[in-house]
A and B are shown apart, each in its own frame.
Chain A
Amino acid sequence: MTQPFDPELAIDAYLDGELDAEQEAALRAWLAEDPQRGARMLAERSLLHSRLARMHAQAAPADPATPTGRGTLLHSAAHFFTRRTPLSITVAALVIGLLITAMAFIAAPIYRHLAGPGREPGKFAPPVIVAELSGVHEAVWGEGQIGSHRGAQLPAGHSLHLNEGIVEVTLSSGAVLVIEAPAVVRIDGPNRCSLETGQLVARVPAAAIGFSIATPNCEVVDLGTEFGVDVTGERSGVQVFEGSVALVPGSGPSAPSQRRVLVAGEAVLVDQSGLVEPAKLTDMQSFRRHIPAAPQWVDVTPEFVGKENCSRVLYTGIGRATEIASLHVYDAAVGSRNGNQYVWLDLSASLPQLPPERIERVLLRWDGVVVPQVVPTHGSKGGVQAELGVFTVPDGRRGIPTVFARADGKNNVNFYAAHESDVIDAVTVPAVSEDRRILASWDITKLVQHWIDNPEAPHRGQLVLINRQHPVWVQWDGTPRVLARIRPHEESDAKASDESEPPRQAAPQDDLKH
């Protein structure tokens, strides 16, 4: 590396844990040159780095994905940037935008790639966004894919190289493509794309009639419909599920005579010469017409029994959750953020009918100011279950303390309490089991009492029980409400070739009505 040593860059790389051996040696030498100067810069940047890490680490759990749209918590700044929010689309776009702008001079090739083929290098013109990557399911992208996350804005000419998984692209015309890997699809314009290889299903609303898909040997023009196209080797298959399409074979010798309209239930194969043959549905690829459903919020709201008895509410809620969604709670904790109360539950011991990987989150929403009190009790499954108690903050208190709990990798669980982002107290308790999920005993009441006894101490923050594998949480805010975020069964996702209706991606509101 012949680049001159940049101490700021090196210190940042060091703080980010990304220093290579060469940079490390250079940084050591630079620090040794003038330790005082080095220490000042390091202290300043480390403070910035640790503050940013703390601020964002705090923000990260508040990601309840707006289950109802009316919770005030859900408008919190933390929520603002999480990837599941609609805003993330903007953020994603902004990030891409940033990269375009900031790196146009450092990394012009990126821009050229992003802008797609046909643009002259060095000519800076804003890309025309014609589509959005509206859904991503277990996608593995080909190398060099840009903006290949959900919410990514796709410019005209952008090619998607999908190696695994299934994604949904919504064109600005309103046409929706469900693309199943392996596939290469180029977004040509707001109402047009090319399928180079692989398969996709297009759902075209009335507004987007005229949407067309080009394959290497034919063009399919939508006449208001839903249809599937697959390209395998030199053959294209077209299957119409609803409505009709116009099929225009390519330039092969048989092509001109082969133009036709296909209606629902029809399927054809087009070969290289442009010859169109009717196909049996059984010969066709099985098309996926919908991206697998996103995790759903299932309402498991318990009966409201009054804020003096949140533990009963919670327990009723957990009971209901158990009943509805087979949630089994091992560890739990309560706390608040920005004046909203949280209960964290470890559902890692859930029964097989609802494996933890299917539960994303449990959300309990509640009105009223409470202070957490967590008392452990022995669970019937041989481990220890946390019993949640909550007591009201006396008048004049300024909110809720924060208590974090973390397994430290040495069979201990550390609890530490904090005000906003700052740790102000800590206890360490031993865990009995090697998996560090089951706690022998832990009692944060002392910590809580601490704030009760010291009214002048700040009382605001959150309490979190972190199980790194299955962080599941419950949260109080506004109307009491318990929501469990459950991943739908994969097998319930239907292929289009099945008779069954694929699962609708449920709007959370619908789920709340149960």
Chain B
Amino acid sequence: MSTPPQNTDSPGYAARLWMDAQPSVLSFICAAIPRFHDAEDVLQEVAVDVAENFSQYDRDRPFVAWAIGIARFKIAAYYRSRGREQCLLDESVLEHVGQAHVTQHDHLGEMRQALEDCLERLAPKARSLVQMRYADDLRSPELAERLGSTSGSIRVTLTRIRNQLLDCIRGKLAQGAAS
């Protein structure tokens, strides 16, 4: 499908850039604010800022890097508003995490596709646990209670499933790069 010529001043252009960057920005925010709903709120604030300040975006820079820069301000503001609570990541780590997101953003599309494929390939049981964790938004103590296990075991199992997904994604990316 041919891409129509893009008017870089149209709001559609901004929207498309944001659409493309948003998963990485959300991931970056999640890394700094490990409460998904709060992270989503901050993401919305970033979206508003991005929309309002789009004219200041330097078109020569990667958009995702610019948006992550805005997210860093919003994250700082988030923690300021929460008083004593501090971000686990200090400035330098956050900087690296931002850069890592910009780097991995190049492969975001493939990663997302790979994730969907890899989820399909999970054993139904593992996928169910992922569903319970994310769709039902259950944490390990609740999962443990529901499944008669311990939080520790649930966490270990979830980490194994995530490792399995990441291995699968990496495999698919390597395959894609080789072909």
Instruction: Please report A residues at the B interface, Cβ cutoff 8 Å.
Output: 6, 8-9, 12-19, 24, 27-28, 31-32, 35-36, 38-40, 42-57, 59-60, 81-83, 91, 94-99, 101-103, 106-107, 110, 113-114, 144-149, 406, 408-409, 414, 416, 418-419, 421-428, 450, 453-454, 456-458
The reply on B75 being an interface residue by CB < 8 A is no
In the complex, which residues of chain A have a beta carbon less than 8 angstroms from the beta carbon of B103? 43
Q: Which of B6-64 contact A (CB under 8 A)?
A: 10-12, 15-16, 18-19, 22-24, 26-28, 30-31, 34-36, 39-41, 43-44, 47-48, 51
B130: A residues at CB distance < 8 A = 52, 56
A81:B28 contact, CB within 8 angstroms: no
Question: What band does the interface of chain B fall in when counting residues whose beta carbon is under 8 Å from A?
Answer: 35 or more
On whether A456 and B3 interact (CB within 8 A), knowing A9-B156, A110-B149, A423-B47, the answer reads: yes
Interface SS of B by simple majority: helix
In contact, B162 and A60 (Cβ under 8 angstroms)? no
- Are A95 and B27 interface neighbours, CB within 8 A? no
A-B contact pairs, 14 of them (CB 8 A): A12-B155, A15-B30, A39-B93, A43-B100, A47-B24, A48-B115, A48-B162, A49-B30, A52-B133, A60-B137, A406-B40, A422-B19, A423-B18, A424-B19
B77 contacts partner chain A, Cβ-Cβ < 8 Å: no
A50 touching B27 in the complex, CB below 8 Å, given contacts A43-B97, A450-B11: yes
- Rounded to whole angstroms, the CA-CA distance of A16 and B151 in the bound complex is 12
Do residues B19 and A91 form an inter-chain contact, with CB atoms below 8 A? no
Say how far B87's CB is from chain A's closest CB, in angstroms: 11
Q: Is the CB of B93 within 8 A of A31?
A: yes
Q: Would you call B148 and A146 a contact (CB within 8 A)?
A: yes
Listed from nearest, the 10 A-B pairs whose CB atoms lie closest are: A98-B125, A454-B12, A146-B148, A39-B96, A56-B134, A43-B100, A426-B47, A46-B31, A424-B19, A56-B135
A81 to B137, CA, bound (A): 13
Pairwise interchain contact B131-A91, C-beta atoms closer than 8 A = yes
Question: Shortest Cβ distance from A119 into chain B, in angstroms?
Answer: 15
Q: Are the CB atoms of A113 and B148 closer together than 8 Å?
A: yes
Report Cα–Cα, A113/B135, bound state, in Å: 27
Q: How far is the CA of A56 from the CA of B148 in the complex (A)?
A: 23
Q: Pick the residue among A18, A47, A99 that contacts B104 (CB under 8 A).
A: A47
**Interface of chain A, main secondary structure:** helix
Please tell me if B176 contacts chain A, counting CB pairs below 8 Å.
no
Among A16, A24, A95, the residue within 8 A (CB) of B139 is: A16
Given A54-B26, A103-B149, CB of A59 within 8 Å of CB of B128: no
Given A426-B44, A450-B12, 13 extra CB contacts under 8 A: A12-B158, A12-B159, A43-B101, A47-B101, A52-B133, A94-B128, A102-B126, A102-B157, A148-B146, A421-B23, A422-B22, A423-B43, A426-B48
CB pair A50 B135 closer than 8 Å: no
A81 to B127, CA, bound (A): 10
List, in ascending order, chain B residues with CB within 8 A of A103's CB: 149, 153, 157
**A98-B126 CB under 8 A given contacts A110-B149, A414-B44:** yes
